[in-house]
Structure formats: C-alpha cells, structure tokens
Amino acid sequence: MEINLVNISKSFGDKEVIHPTTFKIDDGSFTTLLGPSGCGKTTLLRMIAGLETPDDGEIWIDDCCYFSKEKKVNLPPEKRNLAFVFQDFALWPHMRVFENVAFGLRATGDTDNLKSRVIDALKTVKLDDFLDRYPHELSGGQQQRVAFARTIVIKPGCILFDEPLSALDALLREQMRHELKDMTSSLDITSVFVTHDQTEAMSMSDKIAVLNGGYVEQYDKPEVIYHSPKSEFVARFVGKSNWIDENRLFRPTDATKTKIDGGLSYELTVQSVQYLGDTYELTLLFGDKTWTFNSDKKYSPGEKLKIFVDPKNIIFVEN
C-alpha cells in the first residue's frame, strides 16, 4: 500500500504542529518518522490513521483518497485498512493470548477459519505455544509480539507503530527491532514507525523522515541522512558529528589515526575517555568545540592525539 501525503497540515489552537507536508511512503517499505519529543510525529501518524483530522491537504492510499479538505472526504479509521501498534501494547488483561488476537476478527464479524488464522498469526510471532496464557504471564517482548499478531491477523495493508519498543529494556529492544523488521518484511506490509531513537530508526528503516518543529527536514534512506544531512539539525540529531566550523563536519567513523595522503590532519587533546566494551570513546578538544573519536587504545585526559580525515568525507551543511 502506497501512502501519499499531500500538503497536509495541523494546528492545535493557534499552534501549527504540522506545517504543510508532502511525501510519499512506498508500498511494502518500512518508513520511520524520527524526531525529538513534541515535533509532531504522533500527530502525523494519527492523521494517516484517521484518528486526527488534518486542517488542510490530502491523504491518498494507492488510488483511494482517504482525506481531502477540498473534496470533503474523510474516511473513518475502521475503513482505512490500517492497524495500530501502541507503546503500551494495549492487550486485554482478562483475555488469554488466543482471544486477544481473535478480538479484532470477532469485533468485525470476520470469523471464517478464525482458529487457524489466529494460530497462523501466533506462529509468525513464534507464540503458538502460548495460546492459553494471560498477558501478565508473558514477558514484555512476548506481550509486544501478541500485540503484533493481533494486527497482522486482520491482514492490514499498513501497520502504524507508535514507539512500540520504548517500554522494553535495552537488550530486548534490540532483539525486537530485528524481529519486527523481519516480520514486516516477510509479510510485505507497509510500515510507518514513530520513534525518537535514532539507532532504532537507522537500523530498521528503508526511509526516514526527520521531523523538527512540525517540518520534515529530510526524507531519505538512512545512509543518505547519515552521510549527506541537509541541515544542521539533521546532522546533529542523526549520528555523532564533529564540527570543523559552522558549515563543515565529519562523522567520527570517518576519522583515523593512520596517516592519509592528502588528508586533513588535526592534533587534539583528549578531554575525557569512556570505555564502551569494544572501543574507547574519546572526547577531544578542537578549539572551543568537542569531537568524538573511537579508539582501540586507551588514552588519558590531557594526552595528545593526531587524527586524519579524508577531505571527501567532509560534509557541507548550509545554514
């Protein structure tokens, strides 16, 4: 299912929280809305779902107009063929796993082959041995998988995820990232995922829309966002950045201690050292700025260090 947002905007009171926004989400892709708290991610997602009405613009899903201010079209959420996965899983605590997953099918009277469809959905999330458990008898990751099974059983064209992993601990979160991405890819479902976590966005997405104060500052593949950020905000929000001046930066991963012919060289003083297990993360002083550099060798604060950067890895950002 391809989603086209055309000039949609939204205000609450006199505050415009989504400025006129246009972009296309490709069929079968995993797209992330990434940005800091309050930038409008959830509002954008809720407008796609039909839970919030845009003030202007149009929303098209494939060839069907879901919303148009001008044409006075506004399809209700239940007619949009979309499913929502929330941060808090929103499982029914008094229902067993099977009934939680069957709930949506029963609610719409779509009960043909109900048992096998529910079991198939639970097989997809590897929980078909847990049919009789109650949500409180499951781990956080298992609850999240039930929430996911509940959405895929209704075979939606698109799943909207609102920070679905944020209630999980760091390890489980990482594992669920892979699982969610694998499951949505194998089912070929268009996914729109909201997060403020750039690692999550980078590792899962085909494309990322970086939002800042209600504007989409950049919409592109994760690699392009990382290596060619269009604005200072995007450069700072996605990945670490070492700023040479107001317009030029490089990524710490593009610096090396090995001399590069024709490379830029910088002699720097170590300010602090953080041990990260596989590497030491050094904070280096560059004039009044601080840079980050990952080293396999331990340094002490005050020590000098020379690093080299290939000029082709210098990123130019217009202010």
Interface with ligand ATP by CB under 6 A: which residues?
A: 12, 17, 35, 37-43, 196
* Shortest Å, Cβ 27 to ligand ATP: 25
* Alpha-helix runs per DSSP H in 208-304: 222-227, 232-237
Report the chain's terminal Cα–Cα distance, integer Å: 36
Q: Which is nearer to ligand ATP, 23 or 266 (CB)?
A: 23
- Would the CA dihedral through 232, 233, 236, 239 be positive or negative? negative
Contact call for residues 187 and 152 (beta carbons, < 8 A): yes
Alpha helices, H only, the chain: 41-49, 97-107, 114-124, 140-152, 170-187, 198-204, 222-227, 232-237
Shortest distance (Å) from residue 221 CB to ligand ATP: 22
CB of residue 43 vs ligand ATP: minimum separation in angstroms?
3
Nearer to ligand ATP, 16 or 206 (CB): 16
Q: How far is the CB of 44 from ligand ATP (least distance, A)?
A: 7
Query: Would you state the torsion angle of the CA atoms of residues 90, 60, 53, 86, taken in this order, to the nearest 10 degrees?
Result: 10
Provide, rounded to whole angstroms, the least separation between the CB of residue 92 and ligand ATP: 24
Nearer residue to ligand ATP within complex by CB, 16 or 120: 16
Long-range contacts from 222-226, C-beta under 8 angstroms, 24+ separation: 226/202, 226/251
In the complex, minimum distance from the CB of residue 39 to ligand ATP, in angstroms, rounded to a whole number: 4
Distances (CA, A) of 162 to 20, 127, 216, 225, 263: 21, 22, 18, 22, 44
Count Cα atoms within 13 angstroms, Cβ side, for 191: 29
List beta partners, residue 34.
Answer: 195, 210
Of residues 23 and 134, the one with the C-beta less far from ligand ATP: 23
In 3D space, the residue among 205, 229, 241 whose CA is nearest the CA of residue 34 turns out to be 205
Closer to ligand ATP by CB, 43 or 218: give it. 43
| Between 16 and 110, CB nearer to ligand ATP | 16
Task: Provide the minimum distance between the beta carbon of 150 and ligand ATP in the complex, in angstroms, as a whole number.
Answer: 22
Q: What is the DSSP letter of 310?
A: -
In the bound state with ligand ATP, the residue whose beta carbon lies nearer, of 41 and 145, is 41
Residue closer to ligand ATP by CB (options 33, 307) is 33
Residues near 298 by Cβ (< 8 Å), separated by ≥ 6? 273, 275, 280
Closest among 148, 210, 200 to 177, alpha carbons compared: 200
Q: What is the smallest separation between the CB atom of 52 and ligand ATP, expressed in angstroms?
A: 8
